[in-house]
Amino acid sequence: MSQPDVYSAPHRAIHWIMAILIVGLVPVGLYMASIPYPPNPGANPALKDNLYELHKSFGLIVLMLAIARVVVRRVKGVPPPEPTLTRVQRIASAAVHHLLYVLIFLVPFAGWLATSMCYGPVKLFWTVPMTLPFSGQESTCTAIYRVHLGGALLMTALVFAHVGAALMHLVIIRDGVFRRMWPTG
Ligand code: HEM
Ligand code: HEM
């Protein structure tokens, strides 16, 4: 297959939808987990439940988009590294992109697994049943949630670096890196 010079339209659509979802899921995840249960002061069970439901549902959508992204990548291909990149930039961006790929699977899967095992049922937007057929002890679920949180924090740090690099290419270096991924590429 000949290599395209920009990411395919479906690849760019998935990238930006996923980016918006992830940027929302992290603060909402931290906030919802911090809302106290009754009878503690500040408890708001209805808000907590709704945010958990939305977090889990949009998190599952990220996982579905991650699968779609890999399929689109295989079918449509991706552009070769931008020729303006130095060797170091090429290695650094490949490392960050690979890690992000691991995390867009690992983080939602860990959340889904732990929730199914200990705090099910999991439903997509209050309706479609999505609970995984596994059960486990609370200590196992706590450990998996730690992976979920640790992965989400690592992902946040990488996204900061990733956005910084993308903006540097757009504003300072002014090469084609940003355009390759921009929706109107
Ligand atoms: C928030 C979650 C995000 C994730 C998980 C993510 C992930 C990725 C990955 C894995 C790639 C490599 C292309 C691929 O193989 O799919 C990529 C490329 C890119 N991303 Fe993101 N991204 C995120 C957010 C952003 C944001 C907010 C921006 C802009 C400010 C951005 C700008 C870009 C650009 C310009 C490229 C193209 C880089 C190149 O051509 O090598 N990304 N992104
Ligand atoms: C990319 C997708 C996701 C991201 C970035 C993300 C991020 C987060 C973050 C930052 C927290 C706060 C952790 C804490 O304070 O302990 C959290 C909590 C949580 N997440 Fe996710 N999440 C994602 C997907 C999912 C999915 C798919 C599910 C389940 C189907 C899920 C279920 C939960 C639950 C139940 C909690 C609360 C844990 C607790 O109360 O200690 N998450 N998530």
Residue nearest to atom 11 of ligand 1 (CA): 97
> Digits of tens for pLDDT over the chain (185 positions)?
567 889 999 999 999 999 999 999 999 999 999 999 999 999 999 999 999 999 999 999 999 999 999 999 999 999 999 999 999 999 999 999 999 999 999 999 999 999 999 998 999 999 999 999 999 999 999 999 999 999 999 999 999 999 999 999 999 999 999 999 999 86
- Give residues (CB < 6 A) around ligand 2: 22, 25-26, 29-30, 33, 52, 55-56, 59-60, 62, 107-108, 111-112, 115, 122, 145, 148-149, 152
Residues in the chain: 185
CATH number at residue 120: 1.20.950
Three-class SS of residue 4? coil
Rounded Cα gap, residues 149 and 143, in angstroms: 10
Q: How far is the CA of 6 from the centre of ligand 2 (A)?
A: 33
Rounded Cα gap, residues 179 and 166, in angstroms: 10
Domain-located, residue 3 = no
- Quick one: angle between helices 138-168 and 87-119, nearest 10? 150
Domain-located, residue 2 = no
Q: How far is the CA of 34 from the centre of ligand 2 (A)?
A: 12
Domain that holds residue 51: 9-181
Domain-located, residue 112 = yes
Rounded Cα gap, residues 112 and 116, in angstroms: 6
Three-class SS of residue 5? coil
Q: Count the domains in the chain.
A: 1
